[in-house]
Structure 1
Amino acid sequence: MKLLIQNNTRLSIENKENQLYACFQNIFGKIAIELVTITCDDLGYKTPNFTTSGIFHLHGTIRIKNEQLPWSIILKVIKSDSTETEDPQHHNYWRREALVFGSKLLDDLPDAVQAAKGYLVEEQQDGTIWLWMEHVKGQYANSQEQFDFIARQLGRFNGAYLMGKEIPNQKWICKGWLKSWTTACQMYAPNPEDYINHLHRDIESRIWAWFQGFNEQIENNLSSLGNLPRVLAHQDLSQMNMLIVKNDLKIDRLVLIDWQFMSISGVGEDLAKMFGVNMSLGIIPPDLYKACQASLFNAYIAGLKDMGWKGDERQARYGYCLGTALRSVWEVPKYISLVAQLENDHLNKNLQDRVTQLEKIIKVQMEMALEADTLKALKI
């Protein structure tokens, strides 16, 4: 029977049968399989990680012992986009996720989290790398209860390393993720100095004054994160990378995908990324900022304690507060540039809503920066 292929993408998949059979051995075992149909769809990847060229869904049917069965695989294409991402210690080192899959590190994660299985890492002649991996079907967090569940599992994940699980130390695992990320933000964010003449309201002036002072302390603050207990961290906990999946016993499990930002970080930093990025993406609505800020931390601490950790909670709080506040190095310049745009387009409702949202996010960042300063003064 002739293989039927429907390719709805720009990707050349017509000669990838051997790669698919290699994946099928991971999924179905070493049994006789006949590939019947292939469909390839573009998942419309929009997240601004420039080392990702695209994410695709390959699916179709196979025949095993005269029975036709469905199959489904995710294919992620990664590439080098700049000289800086060639550095293994850059937060967005372009080869990192391929190396993570190749190392089998994800097979030895603490029980609190799981990862999508990596089937095949394939180098292409055009310099890209194709990552063939498991298609995980689960639910994205949409409620405070679900986010709290994830935060507790995150605490258990990080807590395993605080309680003696060996932290992997491959040279391509980032050792200073927030420092690298803030440096990149300072390079690529809008320059606030170009827009400060457009700041007229009191809230705008207060944000700019605070940000100037915060910027003066960034190097010192980043250095202080190095004093926190170390854990293996994911560092990219946006809603789309966290899936709640029920196992065979109908018990919720947390599956994390996209390990491109894997790092060795301070306790609390991973939670800060989760809270901060989901505020920025609009997943956590402004009326829940305060409640989620508290509930996520309480759930995270509960997860650390589940693993037997009896350390100083203020250390985790410091990593959480400062990690969230440091996101202002991107948010504030963006805010100031949008305020300037709004002055010339004051009837633009979408622009006004974005400015209002950013004001509320930055207020949280300012409050958490102040708390971090207080904790730092206590020399935790």
Structure 2
Amino acid sequence: MFNNSPLSYPQSDVEILESIDPMNSPAAHPLIDEVTLTNVVRRILDSKTAILGQWHAEAIAHHIINNVTAGLQRITGIASDRSKQFSWSVILKILHLQPENAGSIFNSSQDPTHWNYWQREALIYTSGILDNLTGNLVAPRCFAITEPSANILWLWLEDIQGSPGSTWSLERFGVAAHHLGYLQGSYVMARSLPSQAWLSRDWHRAWVSNIDSTALEAWREPTVWQHPLLKEIFSPDVGDRVMDLWSDRHILLDAVDKAPSTLCHFDITPNNLFSRPNAYGDDQTVLIDWSFVGYGVLGEDIINLVLDSIFLLFVDGSSLIPLEKLVLEGYLAGLRSAGWNGDERVVRFNYAAVAALHFGLIAGRLLYLVRNESRYNWLEQRFGRTFDEIIRSRAIAISHALELADEARLLLRYL
């Protein structure tokens, strides 16, 4: 069922991705048979004799941006074993391979070399890689993977009982960054990286290579500054700064590629994070959705933890600088605790350079969005904010990314 081959990953088209509705797919409404469910419940309860009692499945409300995922279900129920009753719950994540849709850039693929290879998350769970994570950063347990029909996989995952990242304090982001730093520092110091060919590669290069440079050039058009919102939140030199960053992309990417490699998740945003106490009462970070896992560099994985938190309105834009400080300090402390004693300017450069390229060059998409008034109401419903608030938050992330580009250029001379 699983194949091996390299992967590359293209640029996200932010607003198109947000509009995908995979719940229209028949795969999103599974017919769950009790034999399969009984086997899963026995794994959950670590019992070979548990008998399934009443149970209930309910769709989880969510915004899926990758149509490899057909749907999410939370299934809860009762089981009996040796005259005792036990409650249980499990998350059913449904992966599927859809026919190509010409209107979507997020088509799933059966080609393991494709950036959106539909079996990747199943592969990472069956590989055992996630069973050997170090420290207090962990993945959900996977109790089973079943294949109810062709081109559909069911992942039976642990129902995480904890505090979601969307409710965290700024300080808790720093704790998660420490946990991440320890894990990634451990790979650099003491472990060989996993060698599976389906792990993602060249994430930052693939992202940048798919940027539409004509959308960036549009910032130089005089008519852009007739829009009152853009005139209020950006300075007129933003177009030149964006194009300067575009011109410097290869210099920055070449320098990033020289940094120490580690295992990266590539989608560490608040909606993929939970905190909970572990068996010893210590604070533990649980990271879900491993669809894009692969090879990256130190500092790369904390970019989304900071800037996506602002861009997607999980954290108020006024808190960007203190959030960034806490995350960078926590991450570096985690690296040190794992034994990494390298130059922290390398980490800071990787963070600044890749963040600049990922978020500074989203300026073209932001301009398109502002000009497309048909999207305003949908976005307001999606985020529960006014369109002005949404754009301001994204503008803060983009503007800061352009400042990080200046910092990356300064740091480059020390590397």
**TM-score, normalised to structure 1's length?**
0.88
Equivalent position of 2:185 in the other structure: 159
Equivalent position of 1:368 in the other structure: 404
How far apart are 1:169 and its partner, in Å? 1.3
Equivalent position of 2:3 in the other structure: none
How far apart are 1:262 and its partner, in Å? 0.5
Change in Cα spacing, 1:21 to 1:268, as seen in structure 2 (3 Å) is same
Equivalent position of 1:199 in the other structure: 224
Change in Cα spacing, 1:64 to 1:182, as seen in structure 2 (3 Å) is farther
Equivalent position of 1:6 in the other structure: none
Asked if the contact 2:246/2:361 (under 8 Å) is kept, the reply is no
| Aligned partner letter, 1:334 | R
Equivalent position of 1:225 in the other structure: 256
90-99 or 59-68, larger mean C-alpha shift: 90-99
Distance 1:358 1:208 in 2: 16
The answer to whether residue 29 in structure 2 is matched with residue 11 in structure 1 is yes
Distance 2:160 2:31 in 1: 21
How far apart are 1:90 and its partner, in Å? 4.5
The answer for unaligned runs of 5 or more in structure 2 is 1-26, 101-106, 226-230
Equivalent position of 2:145 in the other structure: 121
Equivalent position of 2:118 in the other structure: 94
Asked if the contact 1:98/1:121 (under 8 Å) is kept, the reply is yes
Distance 1:105 1:222 in 2: 28
Asked if the contact 1:44/1:54 (under 8 Å) is kept, the reply is no
The total of aligned residue pairs comes to 366
1:132-143 equivalences under 5 Å are: 132-141=156-165, 142-143=168-169
The answer to whether residue 283 in structure 2 is matched with residue 257 in structure 1 is no
Change in Cα spacing, 1:31 to 1:285, as seen in structure 2 (3 Å) is same
| Aligned partner letter, 1:11 | H
31-40 or 19-28, larger mean C-alpha shift: 19-28
Equivalent position of 2:340 in the other structure: 309
Asked if the contact 1:56/1:75 (under 8 Å) is kept, the reply is yes
Change in Cα spacing, 1:56 to 1:94, as seen in structure 2 (3 Å) is same
How far apart are 1:257 and its partner, in Å? 1.0
1:1-380 equivalences under 5 Å are: 11-14=29-32, 16-81=33-98, 85-141=109-165, 142-184=168-210, 186=211, 191-192=215-216, 196=221, 198-200=223-225, 201=231, 203=234, 205-328=236-359, 331-341=362-372, 350-378=386-414, 380=415
**TM-score, normalised to structure 2's length?**
0.81
Aligned-residue RMSD, C-alpha: 2.6
The answer for unaligned runs of 5 or more in structure 1 is 1-8
Distance 2:362 2:369 in 1: 11
SS in 1 for 2:85: strand
How far apart are 1:126 and its partner, in Å? 4.2
Q: What are the Cα deviations for residues 100-153 of structure 1, in whole angstroms up to 9, with x where unaligned?
A: 111121111112311101111222424121111111111123211111110111
How far apart are 1:237 and its partner, in Å? 0.8
Asked if the contact 1:40/1:57 (under 8 Å) is kept, the reply is yes
SS in 1 for 2:281: coil
Change in Cα spacing, 1:177 to 1:87, as seen in structure 2 (3 Å) is farther
Change in Cα spacing, 1:321 to 1:101, as seen in structure 2 (3 Å) is same
How far apart are 1:160 and its partner, in Å? 0.4
Asked if the contact 2:352/2:405 (under 8 Å) is kept, the reply is yes
How far apart are 1:91 and its partner, in Å? 4.2
